[in-house]
Amino acid sequence: MNHSLDLTIMMYHYIRDRGDSAEAGSGIPGMSVRVFEAQLAEMSKHHTFVTWPEVRGALQGGGPLPSSACLLTFDDGVRDHYINAFRILHARKLSGLFFVLDRSEKDGLILAHKIHFLLAKLGLTALREAIWERLNSSEREQFTLAEKKYQMRYPPVSLDGRINLLKAVLQRDLSMRADTLLGDLFEIHVGSENETARAYYLNLEQIHEMAEGGMHFGGHSRSHPWFDWIDAEAREREIKASAGWLQQIEPGPWAFAYPYGGLSEDSPELLGKHGFVAAFTTHAQLRHSNPHFIGRLDGEEMAQVGSLYD
Ligand SMILES: [Zn+2]
């Protein structure tokens, strides 16, 4: 990329209403369908929506994008994207770029989603207690140290702050232990993890239907780790897994979204090696100078703040 690229990129996760087939009584909140549609309608007055192939063309030296171009992206490959996002985009003749996880049926839920289910079911205090009870003394020490370390970044002064602090501890320092521990808690408090996962993530049939309907797909790793927390070998395994999965879906080169927006210096090289010409972060940014660190705006957060264009 010789010049910087001006492009507004929206990032979405859950799009669901309480009780619909995406939320399905889980109690896990998301951006409501009404708010998502309202945001699309407002954005359409200010932007020209573009597709992933158009963005890829611009990155690879093709024609420039229209002014005020906007790309819609969706992370984690959850069923919300088939049930709600695809339906809405298709009706408006729009395209989205969906970052899916390379999951097989026996892989269960990623840690982040186990946490969502258990937080919704137990609440923060009971979940933290249930985890603490199951840790041995050295794990408790690790937990306490990690909590201290992240307190500056995630000040536990509000419920959101305390939730983010617990997530940071579980998803980084204790990630290996937390994966099995939360798997046990899931079976006790929610139900079969594998059965839940089967219905929770997009399956290939849905993905192919979405692709036929004009949607595009990118990589988001297999196990959704923080890329700055795992080593280079593990990073390459995660990227390679995504490339293998995407080969079944659409021809490359592809785009990638860093899990949790976590960055590592060697990622661009590893991504390039496996067929990814672009990678998206969670940094709020509208002008991009590095194709492997393209910033995005969080659509749900923007909707909570109010109009994008006041
Ligand atoms: Zn993600």
- pLDDT tens digits, residue range 59-89? 998 888 999 999 999 999 999 999 999 999 9
Residue 126 token pair: 């009971």
Contact, 278 vs 294, CB < 8 A?
yes
Phi/psi for 234 (5° steps) reads -65, -40
Reported in sequence order, the residue ranges of 58-182 that DSSP labels E, i.e. its strands, are: 69-75, 97-100
Average pLDDT for 17-33? 96
Spacing, Cα 137 to ligand 1 middle (Å): 31
Spacing, Cα 131 to ligand 1 middle (Å): 23
Task: Measure the CA–CA gap between 164 and 11, rounded to whole angstroms.
Answer: 19
pLDDT at 1 over 70: no
The pLDDT assigned to 62 comes to 84
Spacing, Cα 99 to ligand 1 middle (Å): 8
Q: Give the contacts of 95 (CB within 8 A, at least 6 positions apart).
A: 49, 51, 52, 72, 89, 214, 215, 216
Average pLDDT for 193-210? 96
Spacing, Cα 26 to ligand 1 middle (Å): 19
pLDDT at 309 over 70: no
Spacing, Cα 248 to ligand 1 middle (Å): 20
Task: For residue range 212-258, list pLDDT tens digits in order.
Answer: 999 999 999 999 999 999 999 999 999 999 999 999 999 999 999 99
Paired strand residues for 288: 5
Task: Measure the CA–CA gap between 193 and 195, rounded to whole angstroms.
Answer: 6
* Residue 103: pLDDT band with limits 50, 70, 90: confident
pLDDT at 41 over 90: yes
Contact, 277 vs 58, CB < 8 A?
no
Quote the mean pLDDT of the chain.
95
* Residue 105: pLDDT band with limits 50, 70, 90: confident
Ion ligand 1: residues, CB < 5 A: 75-76
pLDDT at 2 over 70: no
Spacing, Cα 226 to ligand 1 middle (Å): 10
- In the three-class reduction of DSSP (H, G, I as helix; E, B as strand; rest coil), residue 160 is classed as helix
**Of all residues in the chain, what percent carry a pLDDT higher than 90?**
94
Strands 254-257 and 69-75: unpaired
